[in-house]
Amino acid sequence: MISVGITNEASMTVTKDNTALALVSGAIDVFATPAMISLIEKTATECLQQRLSEGESSVGTYLEIKHSAPSVIGSEVFCKVEITEIDRSRIVFDVKVWDAAGEVGSGRHDRFLVNKERFMKKAVARAEKTTHSALR
């Protein structure tokens, strides 16, 4: 059962592979914003996935974050998501990210609940339409 107030937490260690330099989102060896986004999406996905029926999943549709402080290689970065709103299939999360020194980021993330099979049929149909349009 998905309800307002449910939370989930996850963490990630900052390595050379998830720095701004490695992910080409900057030129410094600190935790990259794209890596933080991945941690947020992972944490929210896991929060929902364990509560969904067979054949259901969720897709990220909106992310508004502030990356407020750097985390150096070797730091453990933590993420907590909390469901703050449910509007039919749209689930809204409050997001907090931190390391041992304090806040690293915060914001909001929305996910929609989908039927995997129907979603993939629409995705394939869209790709086929795009391919045919590109040939003109």
- Nearest alpha-carbon partner for 119 in 64, 56, 72: 56
> What local confidence, expressed as pLDDT, does residue 36 receive?
98
**Are the CB atoms for 103 and 68 separated by under 8 Å?**
yes
Structure confidence by residue, pLDDT tens digits, 75-90 = 999 999 999 999 999 9
> What local confidence, expressed as pLDDT, does residue 71 receive?
98
Structure confidence by residue, pLDDT tens digits, 4-45 = 999 999 999 999 999 999 999 999 999 999 999 999 999 999
Entry pTM: 0.92
Please state the rounded mean pLDDT for residues 80-108. 98
